[in-house]
Amino acid sequence: MAGEAVWVESRYGDGVWSIGPAGRWTLESAGPAAEALKALRPERSGGPVRLDLGRLDALDTVGAYLLARLADRLAAEGHAVAVEGVRPEHAALFDAVREAGQAPAQPHGAAHHPIIDMVVRTGRTTIEAVREAGNLISFLGLVTITFARLLLKPSRLRLTSVMFHIEQTGLNALPILGLLSFLIGVVLAFQGADQLKRFGAELYVVNLLGISVLREIGVLMTAIIVAGRSGSAFTAQIGTMKVNQEVDAIGTMGLDPIELLVVPRALALMVTLPLLVFYADVMGLFGGAVMSYATLDITFGQFIRQLHTAVGINTVLAGLIKAPVFALVIAIVGCYEGMKVSGSAESVGTLTTKAVVEGIFLVIVIDAVFSVLFSMLGV
Amino acid sequence: MADAIPLSPALPSTTRPVLQPVIRVRGLVTRFGPQTVHDGLDLDVRAGEVLGVVGGSGTGKSVLLKEIIGLIRPAAGTIELLGHDTADLSQRERTALQARTGVLFQNGALFSSMTVAENVMLPLKEHTDLPPPLIAEIARVKIAMAGLPPDAGAKHPSQLSGGMVKRAGLARALALDPAILFLDEPTAGLDPIGAAAFDSLIRGLQRSLGLTVFMVTHDLDSLTTICDRIAVLIDRKIRVGTLEEHLADPHPWIHDYFHGPRGRAARHAED
């Protein structure tokens, strides 16, 4: 059907090349129409051309564009093109499309070499990453200054907001965090017991659990869960406010968005995270104790006595002291990405993902720094 | 596309004259819970006319538009588009019919993850099997016809101003050379100069493409300058007429609407 819908008659007479497209020149038949026009080749180059549009049954933008393109192509090849016989109902369309078709094509950049492209992209990404780090540090500075100003005038601190975020980030995280920590304790005890049994040193599973949970796993797990739960929430909340221009509105009312939005969140998270870490430590050890009792017949009493000899208060503190630092990092990254949202709702999604990835990345990097520091200090 | 169901062509052609109204609504009833929005509404939209739809807030202007394009199902009544009853169409027929209608949503509804050119190319890619270079060229022509500069095609919607977003949305709505163009408040949020330019763009495209335009609007200037007829949604029904007929209508709401200070100003500007 489509093959018969359009055709082009081409003949010579009196030295004039007559081209007569006919049929339905619409979107449906654009494929065959384009083919038919491509096949048109002049017998003599440079002669006059008569493009007769009188036999078109139907014409739409696409058909008109194809014919206008043909006329322009022939004109560029040196033919004198005369468009004739346009039906009155097609005239306006043909003229409008011909004019629009002559708009210059989108400027394409110069041809790229893939390797050069890659180098350029690498460079651009590096510069972007460095700039990002700088911006993040200045944002930290901004928040610190705002916080210091609040310390001088504590009445300006939004206590309700802080409490709300403590509830959101802390209380509401307890079930998921408790369950995950308990399971991690179970897994660690099980794996440790399996290895230590070979040496007859089953009791040392308590030492293994105590040190690893209290120093590293408790705090790291908590930070990662909170980065995923609350860091992303901060970005989404502030980002949505940014899209709705609420942040701009705060600014015009003479209020400080950092003071109003960022400081309460950062403060709340810094209060919450150490508490969550302690809770995760307890749940992790409890999971380990349950598993030890089940597989190694270590009673809870034995477990606690062994834990006493295995870990001192320093081990607990070495874990807990990291918590406020991680909290600050997660909150700052979350709020910073939220503040970066601009224009579309799409950027809220992109930046939320980025906040979580960056938050977890920085938490692990800082944890490594802490490890080096502790070993140098001999803690 | 070759065996698509035959629908009325984009232009009234000599071989298939369009005799019936392109949109025909009969006995339309719309209810949201206990609230009845439309009650036995009848409407005919003639081929090649620009119909402006007005009405107070909550009278169901946008709802009517959504029902005609099939986004909302009415409680009762029939809606015929280009002679096809929209209620009993197969999926294939519905798709073919949707390709014959273009919709410009109030805020453009451009896909924010794509450039303007990709937005315009999307319906062409989905509904035709044309070679990609030709699709790109057609998109370029549509973007130019919508009055956008050539470099707009490579931009993302977030980089465009409000007026340009509307033009880009119009280019996408026109991508498949629809027979009917639906516009939901096309000039809302534009400055008066931009709104006037958009009006004349719609009028120009309507004339050159032979479009039928169904336009929900509150812009009295649009009503007086580009609409052939005006449909007023009132008392859960619709009253269609020319501007002069509405001016003579004694109904209090219609009288206030067209004889209020804004209505007078728009008419004087027209004179």
3-state secondary structure chain A: CHHHHEEEEEEEECCEEEEEEEEEECHHHHHHHHHHHHCCCCCCCCCCEEEECCCEEEECHHHHHHHHHHHHHHHHCCCCEEEECCCHHHHHHHHHHHHHHCCCCCCCCCCCCHHHHHHHHHHHHHHHHHHHHHHHHHHHHHHHHHHHHHHHCHHHCCHHHHHHHHHHHCHHHHHHHHHHHHHHHHHHHHHHHHHHHHHCCHHHHHHHHHHHHHHHHHHHHHHHHHHHHHHHHHHHHHHHHHHCCHHHHHHHCCCCHHHHHHHHHHHHHHHHHHHHHHHHHHHHHHHHHHHHHHHHCCCHHHHHHHHHHHCCHHHHHHHHCHHHHHHHHHHHHHHHHHHHCCCCCHHHHHHHHHHHHHHHHHHHHHHHHHHHHHHHHCC
Which has more pLDDT, B86 or A376?
A: A376
Domain assignment present for residue B172? The answer is yes
Hey, CA dihedral for A38, A40, A44, A45, is it positive or negative?
A: negative
Q: Which residues of A touch B (CB under 8 A)?
A: 1-2, 24, 26-28, 30-31, 34, 57-62, 65, 69, 89-90, 92-93, 95-97, 99-101, 103-107, 342-347
What is the per-residue pLDDT for B16?
A: 43
Q: What amino acid occupies position A217?
A: I
Average pLDDT over residues B53-62: 86
Are A343 and B158 in contact (CB < 8 Å)? yes
Q: Which domain holds residue B142?
A: 110-177
Residue among B3, B13, B150 whose CB faces A58 most closely: B13
For helices A159-169 and A263-296, the axis angle rounded to 10 degrees is 30
Do the Cβ atoms of A57 and B15 come within 8 Å? yes
The per-residue pLDDT for B9 is 43
C-alpha to C-alpha distance for A244 and A221, rounded to whole angstroms: 34
Contacts of A31 in chain B (CB under 8 A): 128-131
Residue to mutate among B14, B177, B206, with most A CBs inside 10 A, is B177
CA distance A207 to A210: 5
Q: For residue range B152-173, what is the model confidence (pLDDT) as tens digits?
A: 889 888 888 888 898 899 999 9
Number of residue pairs across A and B with CB atoms under 8 Å? 108
For residue B164, being part of any structural domain is answered with yes
In eight-state DSSP terms, residue B157 is G
- Beta-bridge partner residues of B94: none
Name chain B contacts of A96, Cβ cutoff 8 Å: 145, 204-205, 208-209
Name the domain count of chain B: 1
pLDDT for A278: 96
Q: Do B137 and A69 touch (CB under 8 A)?
A: yes
- Judging contacts by C-beta atoms under 8 Å, the chain B residues touching residue A27 are 1, 128, 176-177
For A1, which of B2, B150, B207 is closest by C-beta distance? Answer: B2
Read off the pLDDT of residues B7-34 as tens digits, 9 standing for 90 and up: 444 444 444 444 578 899 999 998 888 8
What is the residue-averaged pLDDT of chain B? Answer: 84
pLDDT at B2 over 70: no
Residue B90 covered by a domain: no
Instruction: Quote the CA–CA distance of A270 and A277 in Å, as a whole number.
Output: 11
Task: Please name every residue paired with B180 in a beta bridge, in sequence order, or none if there are none.
Answer: B101, B212
Question: Looking at residue B11, what is its pLDDT?
Answer: 42
Question: Does residue B13 lie within any of the structural domains?
Answer: no
All domains of chain A, ordered by start, with CATH?
2-101 (3.30.750.24), 139-377 (no CATH)
Residue B160 has φ and ψ, to the nearest 5°, of: -105, 155
Residues of chain A under the 70 pLDDT cut: 1-4, 103-111, 343
Closest-CA residue to A94 (of A104, A103, A83) = A83
Whether B52 contacts B223, CB under 8 Å? yes
The partner residue sitting opposite A57, judged by closest CB among B13, B128, B130, is B13
* Nearest CB partner across the interface for B130, out of A26, A31, A97: A31
Put simply, the answer to whether B2 touches A2 (Cβ < 8 Å) is: yes
Q: Whole-model pTM?
A: 0.66
Range scoring the smallest mean pLDDT among A166-180, A321-335, B128-142, B252-266: B252-266
